[in-house]
Structure 1
Amino acid sequence: MSLRLGTVPAVVVSSAAAARDVLRTHDADCCSRPDTPGPRRLSYEHSDVAFSPYSERWRERRRLMVAEFLSKRRIQDTWYAREAEVEKLISRLASAGGGNEPVVLEEHVFAYMDGIVGTVAFGNIYGAEHFAYRKEQFHRVIDEAMVVRSSFTAEDYFPNALGRLADRLFTGAAALRERVFRDFDAFFEMMLQRHLDPSKPAAGNGSCGLIDVLIGLMKEHKFSRDAVKALLTNTFIGAVDTGAVTIVWAMAELVRNPHLLKKAQDEVRAIVGNGKDRVHPDDVPKLRYLRMVVKETLRLHPALPLLVPRETLRDTKVAGYDVPARTRVLVNAWAIGRDPTTWENPEEFDPGRFQGEEGDEEVGFSRARFEFLPFGAGRRMCPGIDMGVATTEFTLANLLYCFDWELPEGMGCKDVCMEEAGGLTVHKKTPLLLVPTRYRWQRQR
């Protein structure tokens, strides 16, 4: 579908075939990002990976980011953060759900994801009691940054003096953008000063974070100070929200389908056994059905229903149509995942659709299958896919192993509201209220 957003030409890609054209066949022509004021400012004038236009500098920055932080080795090195935070999550849920009281699952899962990302980024100081006030302030800034990222502004669609004037005088977007940037910059500058302090103790397990890796690259003149801050911004905006909403949607779908909830729990408990207090990282690769649950959740509820917008670098073709240079390209992953020409009973939650005839999984996360694009594809595919999937599967496995889950008294399966709220990421419109009860074997310990 071709349209004009203000003065900006745009195409919306809503089929697997058209997505293949954009993300594979003509990926080199469609791999840039639009230069819009919100992402430009919060990325320190395009010093990041997620929102910067395509360039040789961007390619080198992405290569270093993947090698130094998002590699499989680095994922293994950061398991300590997930394990520490999942123990806190289990403890909080057990306390909050005592006496058959319902809990708001989102609150616990978002705090958990924030703890993981903060610890991985900054080390154990992020979870320290004396740091709580600064962390609370930072959460407010992140929430406002998500608003800046997802809001429509006049300059986005009228990239001229008139659009800039409208955002200054009428929409308030320019003032909000500058305030959020100043708050972000002040927090990251404070953290940089802490980690650059020569009197800081030597980094031990849990005290070293992504910021220390980035500082090392900065000292080697591979990253600028602004690039360090921009990449930290990407980490928080890209990881906390997307991981948490996926876990919540998965639990919502499972409690609406008790037979699938039982199947997933039976698998986890059979493989993990009764000799552990929780699921450990080594258990997760054995949980085949759980991985299908995560995939089916991402098919129906991709965290980013519209992938981060692309922009064409030169004239190209999409689905046989001419698309001029500097056209904005919006890939509708939500519609592609529910396309009835691709998926049988597309509105039904059926994890088994991801299992092949001989028990092998047919569709991988990182393999380019254009009917399933929760992480995008091509040059702009999400670089944090392995870390994100590992965290989601590990968390969901622990929730299913450690607790039996029920709806509050008086609610039936079909009473669970599945309406979506708008935004950069798609949240449930209403909170997910569930009653957690410790797994009977654990209650007997």
Structure 2
Amino acid sequence: MTILFSIFFGCLLYILLKKTFPSKGQFAPLPPGPKPWPIVGNLPHLGRKPHQTLAAMAGSYGPLMHLWMGSVHVVVAASAAVAEQFLKTHDSNFANRPPNSGAKYIAYNYQDLVFAPYGPRWRMLRKICNVHLFSAKALDDFRHVRQEEVAVLTRALVSADKKAVNLAQLLNVCTTNALGRVLLGKRVFGDGGGGSDPKADEFKSMVVELMELAGVFNIGDFIPSLQMFDLQGVAGKMKKLHSRFDAFLNTILEEHKGNVIYDNKANNVDFLSMLLSSQNEGEGTKLNDIEIKALLLNMFTAGTDTSSSTVEWGIAELIRNPKLLSQAQKELDGVVGPDRLPTESDLLQLPFLTAIVKETFRLHPSTPLSLPRMASEDCEINGYHIPKGSTLLVNIWAISRDPNAWTDPLVFRPERFMPGGEKANVDLRGNDFETIPFGAGRRICAGMSLGIRMVQLLTATLVHAFDWSLPSGEGSEEKLNMEEGYGLTLQRVVPLMVIPRPRLAVLAYGS
């Protein structure tokens, strides 16, 4: 019996090894990478800031690396050329997401847009969002909402009376209320003034916690046999956070039901009213309550903190570079003048401001590591074998700082994007792989156009309306703490505390 068991076990082990490590004659070699530890593979190598660790590894192993994370093949793209191979040439093969705890425990078990399997249902969700939220018409229909909420933000900053403010918190209130009015037809947080609103603080903490948890490499995702033990406590935290978000979304849903009046010919109808109204129609797109909550969760988490964090990084860079701030203010003074705030229609006339926004997205991409994708079939990239089921990570942070693609890659230098600059024609919309802050291919961020507009308008307004300084005791502008935290989004470790000083005529700020 023992002999038979040994033979059976040996045959099973051989089959598994052949499947995992095919012979050299059968496939091209796997990409290079660091030697894995037993069982856990390369998980211990990632450190607390995986985007930085993986960028450093690329210096040793090249821009296409292979890692073992538990029992899972993981490939990392760290250059524009390699990313283009995955996200353009082989995009259809990498259109799905790998199984993960975040999608299961937070995103309503893959019922959302971000983690939904690629196919008819995903295309339906994407179409709904594109038509009603992110099309050029939808963005134009609601531009007044963004401008009004940014104006509310400026009044809150003026009322600070030259005292230090937590810019991150105020920006998050602004972006959440602007999105809330489009999604729900109302502000999420009071009058939008922010500051002492405990609901706003709670919501931002929930979003930040979600991004932090989603950025954790959970051992259970890579070693399924350990999933039940939740060794890092990640699954438990995700379940608790999901309960908080679900309560928040249930309140919104219940308040909206029974009060839905939707005319599909009317403009400026909020998104949730449209979705709820469709539930009662005989034809058309119907989403159940869970699918609606999953979609709202995507919008509120992906569409608020990403934009506000990017603007926070941009203002920090301009405080460190007062000459750039002055140059941008001079451009705005010439186009907008001292008696009003910028509007979205002004943005096309502000090339230097646009260059500042591009440089902020380059140096501080809101998602440093792309959301993971998964190979549906075996393929070959740059002469290396990529096995079916491999997880793909694109190191957007490393690509945007690649010294082979960028001159002075660590320097905040907006003029590189100006006419005549070496990157004058580089765009952010997924076609130029030197910088892809929103990703690329089929799974490119659905809200990209909204994100760009919101960041541009916020940055233009804050630059035009205020001079900025640091509180006493914070050190000089040149030594401003620019340390990165890590989560799914790129947070500042130290929130930006600043003193705004109005620089326009009083009438520009409204009443």
Q: Please, which of 69, 81, 89 is the counterpart of residue 25 of structure 1?
A: 89
Question: What is the one-letter code of the residue matched to 2:131?
Answer: A
Map 1:168-317 onto structure 2 (within 5 A): 170-198=231-259, 208-219=269-280, 220-276=284-340, 278-317=341-380
Distance across 2 between alignment mates of 1:291 and 1:235: 25
The 8 Å contact of residues 396 and 437 in structure 2, kept in 1 or not, is answered as: yes
For 1:225, give the aligned amino acid: D
The match for 2:394 among 327, 331, 334 is 331
Task: Identify the residue that residue 433 of structure 1 maps to in structure 2.
Answer: 497
Kept in 1: contact 2:215–2:486 (CA 8 A): no
Which residue of the partner structure matches residue 123 of structure 1? 185
Q: Say which SS state the counterpart of residue 126 (structure 1) adopts.
A: coil
Give 2:130's aligned residue.
Answer: 66
Of 162, 165, 190, the match for 2:228: 165
Paired positions, count: 435
Q: Which amino acid aligns with 1:213?
A: M
How far does residue 232 in structure 1 lie from its aligned partner after superposition?
A: 0.4
Correspondence 1:155 to 2:220? yes
Asked if the contact 1:218/1:228 (under 8 Å) is kept, the reply is: no
Displacement of 1:225 in angstroms is 2.3
Please state how far the C-alpha of 1:329 moved relative to its aligned partner. 0.4
Shift of the alpha carbon at 1:171?
3.1
Aligned-partner SS, 2:376: coil
Distance 1:443 1:60, change over 3 A: closer
Please report how far the alpha carbon of residue 63 of structure 1 lies from its aligned counterpart in structure 2 after TM superposition: 2.1
After superposition, what is the alpha-carbon deviation per residue over 1:313-354, rounded to whole angstroms, capped at 9, x for unaligned? Answer: 111122221101110000001100011111111111111111
Cα 1:93–1:178 change in 2 (3 A) is same
Are the counterparts in 2 of residues 43 and 52 from structure 1 also a CA contact under 8 Å?
A: no
1:367, distance to aligned residue in structure 2 (A):
5.0
Q: Report which of the two has the higher share of helix.
A: 1
CA distance in 2, matches of 1:3, 1:36: 17
Displacement after TM superposition at 1:111 (Å): 1.9
Match of 2:304, SS state, is: helix
Partner in structure 2 of residue 340 of structure 1: 403
Contact 2:262–2:273 (CA under 8 A) maintained in structure 1: no
CA gap 1:444/1:133 in 2 versus in 1, 3 angstroms: closer
Q: 2:311, 2:459 within 8 Å by CA — same for their partners in 1?
A: yes
Residue identity in the other structure for 1:267 = E
Of the structure 1 ranges 240-249 and 50-59, higher mean CA displacement relative to structure 2 is found in 50-59
Aligned-partner SS, 1:10: strand
For residues 443 and 387 of structure 1, what CA distance do their matches in structure 2 show?
A: 28
Offset at 1:433? 2.6
> Which residue is 2:159 aligned to?
95
The change in CA–CA distance for 1:207 and 1:124 in structure 2 (over 3 A counts) is farther
| Bigger shift: residues 330-339 or 142-151 | 142-151
Identify which of 69, 82, 105 aligns with 2:146.
82
Contact 2:261/2:273 (CA < 8 Å) preserved in 1? no
Between the two proteins, what is the percent identity of the paired residues? 33
Question: 2:38 aligns to what?
Answer: none
User: Per-residue deviation at 1:53?
Assistant: 2.6
1:353 alignment counterpart: 416
1:113/1:240 contact within 8 Å kept: yes
**Partner Cα separation in structure 2 for residue 202 and residue 335 of structure 1:** 46
What amino acid maps onto 1:250 in structure 2? G
| Structure with bigger RCO (C-alpha 8 Å, 6+ apart) | 1
Report deviation, 1:4.
Answer: 0.6
CA contact (8 A) 2:172 2:305 kept: yes
Q: SS at the partner of 2:134?
A: coil
Give the counterpart of 2:207 among 118, 139, 142. 142
Find the residue that maps to 2:217 and give its secondary structure. coil
Structure with the greater alpha carbon radius of gyration: 2
Give RMSD over aligned pairs.
2.6
Change in CA separation of 1:439 and 1:189 when aligned onto 2, cut-off 3 Å = same
In the TM superposition, what is the alpha-carbon distance from 1:26 to its structure 2 partner? 0.6
Q: 1:19·1:370 contact (CA, 8 Å) conserved in 2?
A: yes
Q: Which residue of 1 aligns with 2:8?
A: none
Deviation of residue 39 (structure 1)?
1.4
Amino acid at match of 2:105: R
Task: Decide whether aligned partners of structure 1 residues 433 and 181 sit closer, same or farther in structure 2, where only a CA change above 3 A counts.
Answer: closer
Letter in 1 for 2:444: M
Q: Is the 8 A contact 2:351 2:418 kept in 1?
A: no
* Aligned-partner Cα distance in 1 for 2:445–2:478: 34
The alpha-carbon distance between structure 1 residues 408 and 140, as it changes in their structure 2 partners (threshold 3 A), is: closer
CA contact (8 A) 1:154 1:166 kept: no
Deviations 1:225-244 (A, max 9, x none): 22211110110110111101
Q: What is the deviation of 1:379?
A: 0.5
SS at match of 1:171: coil
2:383 matched to 1:320? yes
- Contact kept? 1:354, 1:361, Cα under 8 Å: yes
Describe the shift of the 1:42–1:136 C-alpha distance in structure 2 as closer, same or farther (beyond 3 A): same
Q: Which runs of 5+ in 2 are unaligned?
A: 1-64, 192-196
Please identify, of 140-149 and 399-408, the stretch whose mean Cα deviation from structure 2 is larger.
140-149
**2-structure distance, mates of 1:368, 1:115:** 31
